[in-house]
Amino acid sequence: MKKNILLIALAFAIIIFSLYMGSQRGDLGGADEKIEEVIKEISPDYQPVFKSIFEPPSGEIESLLFALQASAGAFVIGYFVGKVKND
Domain coordinates of the chain in residue numbers? 1-51, 54-87
Reported as a single tens digit per residue, the pLDDT across 7-61 is: 999 999 999 998 887 666 666 566 777 888 889 899 988 888 888 888 888 878 8
Exposure string of 46-68, with b = 16+ CB inside 10 Å and e = fewer, is eeeeeeeeeeeeeeeeeeeeeee
Strands (E), 1-87: none
Going by pLDDT thresholds of 50, 70 and 90, the confidence category of residue 86 is confident
Torsion angle in degrees (nearest 10) through CA of 29, 51, 64, 17 = -20
Q: Is the pTM for the entire model greater than 0.95?
A: no
**C-alpha torsion sign, points 28, 31, 36, 37:** positive
